[in-house]
Every structure is written in C-alpha cells, then in structure tokens.
Amino acid sequence: MSQFSTLRVGGPAEAIVPVATVAELSRLMGWLQKNEIGWQVVGRGSNILVSDSGLAGVTIFLEGEFRTMEKVADAGEGAGEERALIRAGAACLLPGLVAYCTSQGLSGLEFAVGIPGSIGGAIVMNAGAWGSAIGPLVESVALMDDSGTLLTRKGESLEFSYRQAALPPRTILVEATLSLRPGDRDVIKKTCRQYQEKRRATQPIAEPSIGSFFKNPPGESAGRLIEKAGLKGFAVGDARVSALHANFFINEGSASAADMLNLMHHVQETVYGRFGVRLEPEVCIMGENQRKK
Ligand SMILES: Cc1cc2nc3c(=O)[nH]c(=O)nc-3n(C[C@H](O)[C@H](O)[C@H](O)COP(=O)(O)OP(=O)(O)OC[C@H]3O[C@@H](n4cnc5c(N)ncnc54)[C@H](O)[C@@H]3O)c2cc1C
C-alpha cells in the first residue's frame, strides 16, 4: 500500500479492486457480502497509515464516473437565492474541485486549497483548515451500503464534528452535493493564493506525510505542544517529526509503519508526561486492528 499512501508506508493489500461505475460498485458489494469477504475503501491515501502487514480482504479504489463534477443548480434555481449546488463524485480531487468552483465564481471551498485528498476522504474526515471545514457545505451525499444498495442522506444528518462525520456504518461515499455562495472570482483566487502561501511557509508540503498527525486538543495546538516538548526533528528510523511543523511526521526514505507508530507513541508519552495532555491521532491507522473477514 506504500504506493497508495502519501506517507509512502504500508504493506501489501490482499486484493485491490478499482471500480469505475456505481453499477459495478453495487455488484462488487453484493458479491463481497455474499462471500463474506471483508473490504475497505481508500481515496487518495493522504490521511492513512497502513500497517506493515498490509490490508486483508479487498481494498476498493473509486475511479471513472466517480471523478466527475458538475454544477447542478445556479443560485436562485432551487438552490436558494444565495447558493449554487455542485455535485462531485467521491474520487474527485479536492484541489480540482477548488479550481472548478473558482472558475465558476463560487466561494466556500477556498480553505481546501492544498489539501491533497478526494471528496470521499474529505467528507469522511470533515477536512478543514484555517477555521473552516467541508461539513457545513455538504447539502447531501449518496452512499452505498454493504449489500450494494444506494442511500441518500442530508448533510446535517452526518453530524460533522472536528475531523469526523457520522456516516452510516460500513458505507462507501459515492458522491456529494455541496452548497456554495456566488462570489467574486478575483477575490476567491486571491484568498486561495494567500492560503497556499501560508501552507508553503508553515508545512513541509513537498515531503511524504499525511498532514497533521494528531488532532488539536481543545484550546491547544498539537504542534505547539510537540515543539514545546523538544521533539521537533526527533526521529525513529526514517520517521521524523518535521522541523518545520511539529504535527507533521515525515518519511525520510524507508520508514516503516512500525517506525511511524513508535514515533507516535513516543510523542504521545512525552507530551503526556510534560503537559498531561493525551494527543489523539487525526490520521486513520489501517490494517491489523481493522481487519474484518
Ligand atoms: C501535505 C498534506 C496536507 C494536509 N492538510 C490537511 C488540512 O489542512 N486539513 C485536513 O483536514 N486534512 C489535511 N490533510 C489530510 C488529508 O489530505 C485529508 O484528510 C483528506 O481529506 C483525506 O482524503 P483522502 O482521499 O486522501 O482519504 P484517504 O486517506 O484515502 O482515507 C481517509 C479515510 O477516509 C476513508 N474514505 C476515503 N474515501 C472514502 C469513501 N469514498 N467512502 C468512505 N470512506 C472513504 C478511508 O477509508 C479512510 O478511513 C493533509 C494531508 C497532507 C499530505
């Protein structure tokens, strides 16, 4: 899985199945259920830490029609006076969607510029930055359950909270409809540029990572606590706490998942010992514990 994770870490997947249409996904889910085969879905792998022993069962990747995006209603055409609706397949890339919204003069997603995930991963993780998150923009989603049946849910039913959403268990997000405000294209572009520059200056975006490793504790910054604990630059093998942003763990070449997990435990214990704060991973740790057959 190392080639499917931006951290470049992870053992073998037992089986990888790319799926290009909703009909194919429905058939696959029905077949997996009938044969009692476990599965997981991966987006762009920009928030996953896969164990060295890899992933059991079938690992599903969405492609083809899951990559399409379109404007489905203009402001005032059923989307509400001040809103326009964009439908995006789960495999669309967040940066691509930001660019599309900018070209359409739609505002709301500027915060997401530079977040390298898919729409599916972004909604499941309630991706956010600079005080905004994707959850409040979600009008509705289409999901597929274990049996291959399509379900729709209103955005508010997903109970978005800090880096999480309450999707019904064992479902795959197929597409989402987002509600955006008409805005001035030049202002949207300028805001995106400012966020991108801020990211470049403060985050190691050119190095293999999965973004912020820990959630920020209430009223605190995980990065600041790690830095204050003297752990900036600390390494276990090739797994290192970034010298630029202490909440980013970098793979300097040949780090294993075990190196990353050992680094995680060391950081958690040190920060707890110094400040009495338990850091909780924001990243999704996959494999072994998640195995289901
Ligand atoms: C340099 C860098 C910067 C980052 N900056 C930010 C940031 O500012 N803010 C932020 O929130 N995140 C940030 N991230 C983390 C990451 O990009 C986001 O969490 C992103 O939304 C994850 O999307 P993904 O497609 O890569 O998901 P993956 O990593 O592939 O998967 C994440 C989880 O979502 C599940 N999932 C994926 N697709 C689906 C689907 N279709 N249906 C159901 N479940 C699904 C997976 O099973 C897994 O549990 C950053 C990462 C990097 C590398």
pLDDT on residue 292: 38
pLDDT tens string 215-226: 999 999 999 999
Residue located nearest, by CA, to atom 27 of ligand 1: 121
The predicted model gives 97-109 an average pLDDT of 96
Whole-model pTM over 0.75: yes
Would you please indicate which residues are annotated as catalytic (active-site) residues? 163, 212, 282
Residue nearest to atom 10 of ligand 1 (CA): 127
DSSP, collapsed to helix, strand or coil, labels residue 271 as helix
Domain layout of the chain by residue ranges: 2-64, 67-201, 205-289
Radius of gyration of the chain (CA): 19
Q: What is the pLDDT of residue 83?
A: 87
CA distances to 41, 153, 187 from 138, in Å: 20, 10, 22
- With CA atoms as reference, report the closest residue to 45 among 88, 16, 14: 16
Q: Which atom of ligand 1 is nearest to the CA of 122?
A: 21
Determine the residue type at 6: T
Residue 73: the pLDDT is 81
Q: How far is the CA of 274 from the centre of ligand 1 (A)?
A: 30
CA dist., res. 264 & res. 249, Å (int): 9
Distance 123 CA to ligand 1 centre (A): 8
The CATH code belonging to domain 2-64 is 3.30.43.10
CA dist., res. 181 & res. 191, Å (int): 15
Q: Which atom of ligand 1 is nearest to the CA of 42?
A: 30
Under 8 Å between Cβ of 122 and 134: yes
Element (H, E) at 14: strand 13-19
| CA distance linking residue 113 with residue 130, whole number of Å | 11
- Does residue 55 have a pLDDT over 50? yes
Average confidence (pLDDT) over 94-102: 96
- Residue 291 reports pLDDT greater than 50: no
Provide the percentage of residues in the chain whose pLDDT is more than 90: 94
CATH 3.30.465.10 fits 67-201, yes or no: yes
Assess contact for 240 and 232: CB atoms under 8 A: no
The fold of the 205-289 domain, in CATH, is 3.90.78
Q: Give the Å distances, CA to CA, from 23 to 58, 93, 150.
A: 18, 22, 10
208 lines ligand 1 (CB under 6 A): no
Between the CA of 209 and the centroid of ligand 1 the distance, in Å, is 12
- Pocket lining: 124 vs ligand 1, CB cutoff 6 Å: yes
